């Protein structure tokens, strides 16, 4: 009894350590500047002032839209092409398929530090900097997603696919109408991991986008905070950070189990 | 002979639709993997600022690298970060995983809360911790003041700043590793503990003789993942400290970024990138070797 009480209080202390800073951020974003630096989450003068200030200073609504466009397109593309390639490698026999599989596994081992600068140069050469294309294209497909899909598709019974082929279904129909509905969990996993990585990525946007109206949300908030526009006004920084955190936290609230379970797939990356 | 026959028949029976399915990826691969790789190896022999024409300079980028104290400093900083971050991460993650791996109320809730920083952008986490770490009025120093400990110069002292970033990174990522350890723990058969208890093994010997050895593969995975993740340390020092104070939080990735996109030294930055990537691969392979040697 005492032991389980002790364990519970340790777990509770842990929850405070992980949750309190977020609550402090949320509370602080409503507080007047002088009140923020306290431990208390309560303010008698709470207002939307900081949010109004952020909205007038930076185009955060536009940045939100940009992030939504970039993340959703990237996610859709990774799922679509990842499942197509994964299906071909798992279920279609063609010369070179094992070579391609090896190549994809090799790709996963390349540290991004090598390809980052040449990828930027490619974007410059193609005249694509400061476009959505430059934000989306380099992450449109991922070796990781292909491997995840391939592994899952290999576990499906051959009889299922044979039956559909006998019925005269094209391979695309088999993939999208027969196999996709069976793969909801894997699709959701790949989608969540991709969306999260895309939404939170800031290094690549910082490199290819200078135009403010094209910046993604994390990029704009970063520039806002370190570029001096926030004028060291803590309340505004916290409001901007809350804006940035909110969409992912809401998604997390709905798909919490899938977010957490998706992490088990990261093992494949190692 | 029969092998050759197999290949021929494989080609003949080859499913052409397969090529159609993989074609988009092949194009993608050529553009965003193969081309950058090849270009990277070209770039290291050149001086280039993107605007003016490329200039062949042979091995001068490497000569510059070996006598660039700032790069070595940045590499050292990155290793300091890893050496604090990884052990801390493993200890904290394992402790919470073991607490969660017991029957009781709210376990799912706690797991969800610990995982929250994982899903949130590093930018948000960094803005938060900038204020938690604030010297005069930050939450952490206020708490320390309450219990009678003096102020800690979290981000001001060059000797403390990198450990501070390592603590912050642990707070952000530990949720992933709690989940991975939890899975590892749940895969240990209960009977093993039961028979060990019957043999009179106490909690400590059960932990060191059963739990830890049985978590070996999880541990390997976690070390590899957090090493690769740790080497890409960028946004935290970029936002939090800009690499300061006195270059103490200048990570290798931030240094490469500055060389390329702040100073426009594309050739030199590409050289740094390749050397850095080789170091990463070497470290990861070395870790694997050590773990395999340990296991036998």
Q: What is the pLDDT of residues A142-180, one digit of tens each?
A: 999 999 999 999 999 999 888 998 888 888 899 999 999
> Are B136 and B37 in a shared domain?
no
Record: contact B228-A270, CB cut-off 8 A = yes
> Are B44 and B147 in a shared domain?
no
Residue B9 confidence (pLDDT): 47
pLDDT exceeds 60 at position B2: no
pTM: 0.89
pLDDT exceeds 50 at position A270: no
**Is B276 an interface residue toward A (CB < 8 Å)?**
yes
> Are B26 and B136 in a shared domain?
no
> Are B161 and B97 in a shared domain?
yes
- Here the tokens at position B255 are 């240094």
> Are B32 and B163 in a shared domain?
no
Name chain B contacts of A54, Cβ cutoff 8 Å: none
Local structure of residue A137 (DSSP, 8 states): G
Residue A216 confidence (pLDDT): 96
A to B CB pairs, distance under 8 Å: 255
Distance CA B14, CA B12 (A): 5
Average pLDDT over residues A226-241: 84
A-facing residues of B in 196-215 (CB < 8 A) are none
Reference A219, options B239, B249, B240, B252; nearest CA is: B239
Distance CA A7, CA A30 (A): 35
- Report how far Cα B222 is from the mean position of its chain's Cα atoms: 10
Residue B1 confidence (pLDDT): 41
Among partner residues B22, B37, B273, which is closest to A100 by beta-carbon distance?
A: B22
pLDDT exceeds 90 at position B53: no
Distance CA B258, CA B265 (A): 9
Distance CA B60, CA B47 (A): 9
Record: contact A38-B266, CB cut-off 8 A = no
Reference B41, options B252, B265, B267; nearest CA is: B267
Residue-range domain boundaries for chain A? 2-47, 52-269
> Are B261 and B160 in a shared domain?
yes
B-facing residues of A in 166-225 (CB < 8 A) are 171, 196, 199-200, 202-203, 206-207, 218, 221-222, 225
Residue A4 confidence (pLDDT): 85
> Are B251 and B153 in a shared domain?
yes
Record: contact A196-B13, CB cut-off 8 A = no
> Are B43 and B138 in a shared domain?
no
Average pLDDT over residues B26-52: 92
Of the ranges A13-22, A224-233, B89-98, which one carries the lowest mean pLDDT score?
Answer: A224-233
Residue A266 confidence (pLDDT): 66
pLDDT exceeds 60 at position B4: no
Average pLDDT over residues B5-31: 75
> Are B98 and B21 in a shared domain?
no
Among partner residues B16, B113, B171, which is closest to A15 by beta-carbon distance?
A: B113
Q: Which uninterrupted H or E stretch holds B46?
A: strand B46-47
Q: What is the mean pLDDT of chain B?
A: 88
Q: What is the DSSP string of B103-118?
A: --TTHHHHHHHHHHHH
> Could you report the per-residue pLDDT of B179-217, keeping only the tens digit for each?
999 999 998 988 888 888 888 888 888 888 889 988 988
3-state SS assignment for residue B71: helix
Q: What is the mean pLDDT of chain A?
A: 90
> Are B119 and B234 in a shared domain?
yes
What CATH number does residue B198 fall under? 1.10.3720.10
Distance CA B230, CA B224 (A): 10
pLDDT exceeds 90 at position A39: no
Residue B122 is part of which domain span? Answer: 68-295
> Are B113 and B152 in a shared domain?
yes
CA distance A57 to chain B (A): 18
The CB-side HSE value for A27 (13 A sphere, CA atoms) comes to: 16
Reference A124, options B264, B232, B27, B276; nearest CA is: B264
Record: contact B134-A39, CB cut-off 8 A = no
Distance CA A36, CA B33 (A): 47
Residue A268 confidence (pLDDT): 56
- The secondary structure of chain B in percent helix, strand, coil, rounded to multiples of 5, reads 75, 0, 25
Per cent of chain A over pLDDT 90 is 61
Confidence of residue A17 (pLDDT cuts 50, 70, 90): very high
Among partner residues B13, B119, B256, which is closest to A248 by beta-carbon distance?
A: B119
Name chain A contacts of B261, Cβ cutoff 8 Å: 120, 206-207
> Could you report the per-residue pLDDT of B219-278, keeping only the tens digit for each?
988 998 899 889 989 989 998 888 889 889 999 999 999 999 899 999 999 999 999 999
The fold of the A52-269 domain, in CATH, is MetI-like fold (1.10.3720)
> Are B161 and B194 in a shared domain?
yes
How many structural domains is chain B composed of? Answer: 2
In chain A, the N- to C-terminal Cα span, in Å, equals 40
């Amino acid at each position: 009894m005492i032991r389980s009480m002790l364990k519970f209080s340790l777990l509770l202390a842990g929850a405070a350590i992980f949750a309190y800073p977020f609550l402090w951020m949320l509370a602080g974003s409503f507080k007047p500047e002088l009140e923020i630096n306290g431990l208390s989450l309560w303010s008698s003068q709470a207002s939307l002032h900081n949010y109004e200030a952020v909205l007038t200073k930076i185009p955060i609504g536009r940045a939100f839209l940009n992030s939504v466009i970039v993340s959703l397109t990237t996610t859709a593309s990774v799922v679509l092409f990842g499942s197509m390639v994964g299906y071909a490698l798992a279920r279609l026999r063609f010369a070179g398929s094992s070579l391609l599989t090896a190549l994809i596994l090799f790709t996963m081992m390349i540290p991004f530090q090598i390809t980052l600068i040449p990828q930027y140069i490619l974007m410059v050469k193609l005249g694509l900097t400061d476009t959505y294309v430059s934000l989306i294209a380099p992450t449109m497909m991922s070796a990781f997603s292909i491997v995840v899909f391939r592994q899952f598709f290999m576990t499906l019974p051959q009889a299922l696919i044979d039956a559909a082929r006998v019925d005269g279904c094209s391979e695309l129909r088999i993939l999208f109408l027969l196999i996709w509905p069976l793969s909801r969990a894997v699709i959701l996993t790949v989608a969540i991991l991709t969306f999260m990585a895309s939404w939170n990525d800031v290094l690549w946007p910082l490199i290819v986008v200078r135009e403010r109206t094209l910046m993604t949300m994390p990029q704009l908030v970063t520039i806002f905070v370190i570029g001096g526009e926030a004028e060291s006004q803590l309340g505004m920084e916290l409001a901007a950070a809350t804006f940035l955190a909110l969409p992912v936290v809401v998604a997390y609230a709905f798909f919490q189990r899938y977010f957490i379970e998706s992490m088990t797939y990261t093992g494949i990356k190692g | 002979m029969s092998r050759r026959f197999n290949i021929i028949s494989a080609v003949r029976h080859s499913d052409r639709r397969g090529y159609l399915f993989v074609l988009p990826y092949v194009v993608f691969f050529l553009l965003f993997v193969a081309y950058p790789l090849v270009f990277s190896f070209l770039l290291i022999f050149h001086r280039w600022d993107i605007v003016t024409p490329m200039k062949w300079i042979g091995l001068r980028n490497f000569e510059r690298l070996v006598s660039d104290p700032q790069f070595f400093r940045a590499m050292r900083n990155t290793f300091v970060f890893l050496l604090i971050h990884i052990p801390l991460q493993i200890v904290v993650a394992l402790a919470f995983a073991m607490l969660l791996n017991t029957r009781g109320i709210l376990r799912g809730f706690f797991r969800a809360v610990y995982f929250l920083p994982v899903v949130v952008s590093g930018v948000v986490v960094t803005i938060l911790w900038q204020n938690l770490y604030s010297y005069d009025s930050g939450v952490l120093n206020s708490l320390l003041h309450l219990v009678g400990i003096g102020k800690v110069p979290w981000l001001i002292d060059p000797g403390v700043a990198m450990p501070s970033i390592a603590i912050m990174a642990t707070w952000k990522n530990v949720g992933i590793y709690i989940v991975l350890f939890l899975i590892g723990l749940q895969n240990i058969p209960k009977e093993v503990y039961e028979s060990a208890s019957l043999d009179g093994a106490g909690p400590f010997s059960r932990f060191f003789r059963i739990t830890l050895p049985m978590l070996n593969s999880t541990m390997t995975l976690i070390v590899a993942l957090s090493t690769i993740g740790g080497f890409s340390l960028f946004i935290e020092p970029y936002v939090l400290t800009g690499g300061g104070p006195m270059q103490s939080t200048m990570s290798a990735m931030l240094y490469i970024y500055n060389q390329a996109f702040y100073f426009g030294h594309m050739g030199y930055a590409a050289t740094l990138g390749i050397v850095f990537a080789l170091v990463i691969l070497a470290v990861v392979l070395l870790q694997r070797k050590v773990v395999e040697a340990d296991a036998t």
